[in-house]
Structure 1
Amino acid sequence: MVLLRRVIGDALRARRQGQHRTLREVSSAANVSLGYLSEIERGQKEPSSELLAAICDALGARLSELLREVSDTVALAEQMPGVLVPVQEGTPAPAEPAPVGPTAVRKATGRGVRQVTSDGTVSVSVRHDSPLKATLRSKRVRSTDRDVVCAA
Protein backbone atom coordinates (compact mmCIF):
# COMPACT_ATOMS: atom_id res chain seq x y z
CA MET A 1 0.00 0.00 0.00
CA VAL A 2 1.32 3.47 -0.89
CA LEU A 3 1.23 5.85 2.04
CA LEU A 4 0.68 9.56 1.45
CA ARG A 5 3.27 10.53 4.07
CA ARG A 6 5.91 8.53 2.19
CA VAL A 7 5.09 10.14 -1.14
CA ILE A 8 5.27 13.59 0.50
CA GLY A 9 8.55 12.72 2.22
CA ASP A 10 10.09 11.41 -0.96
CA ALA A 11 9.02 14.50 -2.90
CA LEU A 12 10.62 16.72 -0.24
CA ARG A 13 13.82 14.67 -0.25
CA ALA A 14 14.02 14.78 -4.05
CA ARG A 15 13.70 18.57 -4.00
CA ARG A 16 16.33 18.94 -1.26
CA GLN A 17 18.78 16.59 -2.95
CA GLY A 18 18.14 18.26 -6.31
CA GLN A 19 19.40 21.49 -4.72
CA HIS A 20 22.43 19.66 -3.25
CA ARG A 21 21.45 20.76 0.24
CA THR A 22 21.86 18.88 3.49
CA LEU A 23 19.18 18.01 6.01
CA ARG A 24 20.91 20.38 8.43
CA GLU A 25 20.66 23.35 6.03
CA VAL A 26 16.97 22.81 5.32
CA SER A 27 16.03 22.02 8.91
CA SER A 28 17.71 25.21 10.08
CA ALA A 29 15.99 27.31 7.39
CA ALA A 30 12.58 25.73 8.15
CA ASN A 31 13.10 25.97 11.93
CA VAL A 32 12.47 22.25 12.45
CA SER A 33 14.77 19.74 14.13
CA LEU A 34 17.07 17.76 11.88
CA GLY A 35 15.77 14.46 13.25
CA TYR A 36 12.13 15.38 12.68
CA LEU A 37 12.82 16.52 9.10
CA SER A 38 14.62 13.22 8.50
CA GLU A 39 11.59 11.30 9.80
CA ILE A 40 9.30 13.33 7.51
CA GLU A 41 11.49 12.58 4.48
CA ARG A 42 11.52 8.86 5.34
CA GLY A 43 7.71 8.84 5.62
CA GLN A 44 7.72 8.03 9.32
CA LYS A 45 6.02 11.27 10.41
CA GLU A 46 3.19 13.28 8.86
CA PRO A 47 3.94 17.00 8.87
CA SER A 48 1.25 19.53 9.70
CA SER A 49 0.24 21.93 6.95
CA GLU A 50 2.14 24.73 8.71
CA LEU A 51 5.31 22.66 8.95
CA LEU A 52 4.98 21.50 5.36
CA ALA A 53 4.64 25.14 4.24
CA ALA A 54 7.76 26.08 6.26
CA ILE A 55 9.77 23.24 4.68
CA CYS A 56 8.60 24.21 1.20
CA ASP A 57 9.57 27.83 1.91
CA ALA A 58 13.01 26.70 3.07
CA LEU A 59 13.36 24.77 -0.21
CA GLY A 60 12.21 27.76 -2.26
CA ALA A 61 9.18 25.85 -3.50
CA ARG A 62 5.49 26.60 -3.40
CA LEU A 63 3.35 24.33 -1.30
CA SER A 64 0.96 24.00 -4.24
CA GLU A 65 3.81 22.71 -6.47
CA LEU A 66 4.73 20.02 -3.96
CA LEU A 67 1.11 18.99 -3.44
CA ARG A 68 0.51 18.89 -7.20
CA GLU A 69 3.54 16.63 -7.63
CA VAL A 70 2.31 14.34 -4.85
CA SER A 71 -1.21 14.39 -6.29
CA ASP A 72 0.04 13.44 -9.77
CA THR A 73 2.03 10.54 -8.34
CA VAL A 74 -0.88 9.22 -6.28
CA ALA A 75 -3.35 9.69 -9.17
CA LEU A 76 -1.24 7.54 -11.46
CA ALA A 77 -0.70 4.97 -8.71
CA GLU A 78 -4.48 4.75 -8.21
CA GLN A 79 -4.89 3.75 -11.86
CA MET A 80 -2.50 0.87 -11.48
CA PRO A 81 -4.20 -2.31 -10.26
CA GLY A 82 -2.98 -3.62 -6.92
CA VAL A 83 -0.82 -0.60 -6.03
CA LEU A 84 -2.96 0.95 -3.33
CA VAL A 85 -4.04 -2.35 -1.79
CA PRO A 86 -1.88 -5.05 -0.18
CA VAL A 87 -0.68 -7.71 -2.61
CA GLN A 88 -1.39 -11.30 -1.60
CA GLU A 89 1.64 -13.58 -1.37
CA GLY A 90 1.94 -15.88 -4.35
CA THR A 91 -0.49 -13.92 -6.55
CA PRO A 92 0.71 -14.39 -10.12
CA ALA A 93 0.98 -11.45 -12.47
CA PRO A 94 -1.65 -11.36 -15.20
CA ALA A 95 -0.49 -12.36 -18.68
CA GLU A 96 -1.62 -9.07 -20.24
CA PRO A 97 -1.35 -5.57 -18.73
CA ALA A 98 -4.52 -3.79 -17.73
CA PRO A 99 -5.15 -0.78 -19.96
CA VAL A 100 -4.11 2.23 -17.89
CA GLY A 101 -3.51 5.67 -19.39
CA PRO A 102 -1.57 6.19 -22.61
CA THR A 103 1.10 3.61 -21.71
CA ALA A 104 1.06 0.71 -19.31
CA VAL A 105 3.34 -2.28 -18.74
CA ARG A 106 3.06 -5.02 -16.16
CA LYS A 107 5.55 -7.81 -15.92
CA ALA A 108 6.69 -10.38 -13.39
CA THR A 109 10.19 -9.96 -12.03
CA GLY A 110 12.26 -11.99 -9.62
CA ARG A 111 11.25 -9.80 -6.66
CA GLY A 112 7.59 -9.19 -7.55
CA VAL A 113 5.29 -7.55 -10.01
CA ARG A 114 6.56 -4.41 -11.73
CA GLN A 115 4.08 -1.99 -13.24
CA VAL A 116 4.79 1.14 -15.28
CA THR A 117 2.37 3.81 -16.43
CA SER A 118 2.62 7.35 -17.78
CA ASP A 119 0.23 10.17 -18.57
CA GLY A 120 2.76 12.12 -20.64
CA THR A 121 3.94 14.39 -17.81
CA VAL A 122 4.49 11.87 -15.01
CA SER A 123 5.73 8.30 -15.24
CA VAL A 124 5.12 5.90 -12.35
CA SER A 125 6.59 2.44 -11.85
CA VAL A 126 5.79 0.08 -9.01
CA ARG A 127 7.67 -2.98 -7.78
CA HIS A 128 6.03 -5.22 -5.19
CA ASP A 129 8.82 -6.31 -2.84
CA SER A 130 6.62 -8.24 -0.41
CA PRO A 131 2.92 -8.60 0.44
CA LEU A 132 2.95 -5.32 2.38
CA LYS A 133 5.78 -3.44 0.70
CA ALA A 134 5.79 -1.77 -2.69
CA THR A 135 8.37 0.59 -4.12
CA LEU A 136 6.86 3.44 -6.11
CA ARG A 137 9.06 5.54 -8.40
CA SER A 138 7.72 8.54 -10.22
CA LYS A 139 9.45 10.80 -12.71
CA ARG A 140 8.23 14.09 -14.12
CA VAL A 141 8.85 14.57 -17.81
CA ARG A 142 10.03 18.20 -17.84
CA SER A 143 13.22 20.15 -18.28
CA THR A 144 13.75 19.84 -14.50
CA ASP A 145 13.34 16.05 -14.31
CA ARG A 146 13.25 14.71 -10.75
CA ASP A 147 12.97 11.16 -9.54
CA VAL A 148 10.82 10.43 -6.53
CA VAL A 149 11.15 7.05 -4.89
CA CYS A 150 8.58 5.86 -2.38
CA ALA A 151 8.74 2.63 -0.46
CA ALA A 152 5.45 1.69 1.15
Structure 2
Amino acid sequence: MVLLRRVIGDALRARRQSQQRTLREVSTAANVSLGYLSEIERGQKEASSELLSSICDALGAQLSEVLREVSDTMALAEQMAGVLVPVDQRAAESAAAPRARASKAKVTDGRVSVAVSHDGPLKTTLRATRAGRQSSDRDVVCAA
Protein backbone atom coordinates (compact mmCIF):
# COMPACT_ATOMS: atom_id res chain seq x y z
CA MET A 1 0.00 0.00 0.00
CA VAL A 2 1.33 3.44 -0.91
CA LEU A 3 1.22 5.78 2.06
CA LEU A 4 0.36 9.44 1.55
CA ARG A 5 3.09 10.57 3.94
CA ARG A 6 5.69 8.73 1.85
CA VAL A 7 4.53 10.32 -1.40
CA ILE A 8 4.56 13.75 0.27
CA GLY A 9 8.06 13.08 1.58
CA ASP A 10 9.24 12.03 -1.88
CA ALA A 11 7.81 15.19 -3.43
CA LEU A 12 9.53 17.41 -0.85
CA ARG A 13 12.85 15.57 -1.18
CA ALA A 14 12.76 15.71 -5.01
CA ARG A 15 12.09 19.44 -4.90
CA ARG A 16 14.91 20.05 -2.39
CA GLN A 17 17.38 17.92 -4.34
CA SER A 18 16.47 19.58 -7.64
CA GLN A 19 17.48 22.87 -5.99
CA GLN A 20 20.72 21.22 -4.82
CA ARG A 21 19.98 22.23 -1.24
CA THR A 22 20.87 20.34 1.90
CA LEU A 23 18.51 19.20 4.63
CA ARG A 24 20.26 21.64 6.96
CA GLU A 25 19.59 24.63 4.67
CA VAL A 26 15.91 23.82 4.29
CA SER A 27 15.38 22.91 7.94
CA THR A 28 16.91 26.23 9.03
CA ALA A 29 14.79 28.21 6.57
CA ALA A 30 11.63 26.31 7.56
CA ASN A 31 12.42 26.57 11.28
CA VAL A 32 12.10 22.80 11.78
CA SER A 33 14.70 20.43 13.19
CA LEU A 34 16.92 18.69 10.68
CA GLY A 35 16.01 15.27 12.07
CA TYR A 36 12.29 15.91 11.87
CA LEU A 37 12.55 17.18 8.28
CA SER A 38 14.52 14.05 7.41
CA GLU A 39 11.79 11.86 8.93
CA ILE A 40 9.14 13.74 6.93
CA GLU A 41 11.09 13.24 3.69
CA ARG A 42 11.47 9.53 4.43
CA GLY A 43 7.74 9.21 5.10
CA GLN A 44 8.22 8.27 8.74
CA LYS A 45 6.37 11.29 10.17
CA GLU A 46 3.16 13.01 9.13
CA ALA A 47 3.61 16.76 8.92
CA SER A 48 0.85 19.16 9.89
CA SER A 49 -0.51 21.54 7.27
CA GLU A 50 1.29 24.42 9.02
CA LEU A 51 4.60 22.57 8.91
CA LEU A 52 4.13 21.56 5.27
CA SER A 53 3.40 25.20 4.44
CA SER A 54 6.59 26.29 6.21
CA ILE A 55 8.69 23.68 4.38
CA CYS A 56 7.15 24.68 1.04
CA ASP A 57 7.91 28.35 1.75
CA ALA A 58 11.52 27.40 2.52
CA LEU A 59 11.66 25.59 -0.83
CA GLY A 60 10.10 28.53 -2.67
CA ALA A 61 7.07 26.46 -3.64
CA GLN A 62 3.36 26.86 -3.16
CA LEU A 63 1.81 24.22 -0.92
CA SER A 64 -0.83 23.68 -3.59
CA GLU A 65 1.88 22.82 -6.17
CA VAL A 66 3.40 20.15 -3.95
CA LEU A 67 -0.01 18.73 -3.05
CA ARG A 68 -0.95 18.69 -6.74
CA GLU A 69 2.18 16.63 -7.51
CA VAL A 70 1.30 14.28 -4.68
CA SER A 71 -2.28 14.03 -5.92
CA ASP A 72 -1.12 13.22 -9.46
CA THR A 73 1.16 10.46 -8.16
CA MET A 74 -1.56 8.99 -5.95
CA ALA A 75 -4.13 9.14 -8.77
CA LEU A 76 -1.85 7.17 -11.08
CA ALA A 77 -1.00 4.69 -8.35
CA GLU A 78 -4.71 4.10 -7.77
CA GLN A 79 -5.13 3.20 -11.44
CA MET A 80 -2.56 0.44 -11.15
CA ALA A 81 -4.01 -2.91 -10.17
CA GLY A 82 -2.93 -4.05 -6.72
CA VAL A 83 -0.87 -1.01 -5.74
CA LEU A 84 -3.31 0.25 -3.15
CA VAL A 85 -4.63 -3.16 -2.15
CA PRO A 86 -4.77 -3.58 1.64
CA VAL A 87 -1.85 -5.55 3.08
CA ASP A 88 -4.01 -8.45 4.29
CA GLN A 89 -5.64 -8.89 0.87
CA ARG A 90 -2.29 -8.77 -0.97
CA ALA A 91 -0.82 -11.37 1.40
CA ALA A 92 -3.80 -13.67 0.73
CA GLU A 93 -3.42 -13.19 -3.04
CA SER A 94 0.31 -13.90 -2.83
CA ALA A 95 -0.26 -17.07 -0.81
CA ALA A 96 -2.94 -18.30 -3.24
CA ALA A 97 -0.87 -17.60 -6.36
CA PRO A 98 2.02 -19.82 -7.38
CA ARG A 99 5.47 -18.45 -6.67
CA ALA A 100 6.15 -15.80 -9.28
CA ARG A 101 8.96 -13.41 -9.97
CA ALA A 102 8.59 -9.72 -9.32
CA SER A 103 5.55 -8.18 -10.98
CA LYS A 104 5.84 -4.76 -12.58
CA ALA A 105 3.34 -2.21 -13.77
CA LYS A 106 3.64 1.29 -15.21
CA VAL A 107 1.15 4.05 -15.98
CA THR A 108 1.57 7.63 -17.17
CA ASP A 109 -0.55 10.67 -17.90
CA GLY A 110 2.13 12.61 -19.80
CA ARG A 111 3.19 14.70 -16.81
CA VAL A 112 3.73 11.95 -14.26
CA SER A 113 4.80 8.34 -14.71
CA VAL A 114 4.37 5.84 -11.91
CA ALA A 115 6.07 2.46 -12.03
CA VAL A 116 5.46 -0.13 -9.34
CA SER A 117 7.45 -3.29 -8.82
CA HIS A 118 6.23 -5.96 -6.39
CA ASP A 119 9.41 -7.74 -5.36
CA GLY A 120 7.66 -10.16 -3.04
CA PRO A 121 4.96 -10.03 -0.39
CA LEU A 122 7.01 -7.70 1.81
CA LYS A 123 8.49 -5.23 -0.65
CA THR A 124 6.97 -2.90 -3.20
CA THR A 125 8.97 -0.20 -4.97
CA LEU A 126 7.19 2.89 -6.27
CA ARG A 127 9.03 5.10 -8.75
CA ALA A 128 7.37 8.39 -9.68
CA THR A 129 8.87 10.44 -12.49
CA ARG A 130 7.64 13.91 -13.36
CA ALA A 131 8.35 15.58 -16.67
CA GLY A 132 11.49 17.69 -16.26
CA ARG A 133 12.32 16.36 -12.78
CA GLN A 134 14.44 13.65 -11.29
CA SER A 135 12.74 10.41 -10.30
CA SER A 136 12.41 9.25 -6.74
CA ASP A 137 12.38 5.68 -5.52
CA ARG A 138 10.54 4.58 -2.47
CA ASP A 139 10.66 1.12 -0.98
CA VAL A 140 7.34 0.50 0.65
CA VAL A 141 7.09 -2.27 3.21
CA CYS A 142 3.70 -3.87 2.70
CA ALA A 143 3.60 -6.09 5.77
CA ALA A 144 5.28 -6.11 9.15
Quickly name the TM-score band, shorter chain normalised. 0.7 to 0.9
TM-score w.r.t. the length of structure 2 is 0.86
Bigger share in helix: 2
Find the residue that maps to 2:2 and give its secondary structure.
Answer: coil
Give the RMSD, CA atoms, in angstroms. 1.7
CA distance in structure 2 between the partners assigned to 1:44 and 1:80 by the alignment: 24
TM-score w.r.t. the length of structure 1 is 0.81
Paired residues in the alignment total: 134
Query: How far did residue 147 of structure 1 move?
Result: 1.5
Identity of aligned residues (%): 69
1:80-129 residue CA offsets vs partner (Å, 9 max, x unmatched): 00001133335469xxxxxxxxxxxxxx7x4x211111112211100113
CA distance in structure 2 between the partners assigned to 1:122 and 1:23 by the alignment: 25
Query: How far did residue 130 of structure 1 move?
Result: 3.0
Match of 1:145 in 2: 133
1:1-150, aligned counterparts within 5 Å? 1-85=1-85, 86=87, 87-88=90-91, 89=94, 91=97, 110=101, 112-141=102-131, 144-150=132-138
Unaligned runs of 5+ in 2: none
Find the residue that maps to 1:130 and give its secondary structure.
Answer: coil
Find the residue that maps to 2:133 and give its secondary structure.
Answer: coil
Find the residue that maps to 2:136 and give its secondary structure.
Answer: strand
Counterpart amino acid of residue 43 in structure 2:
G
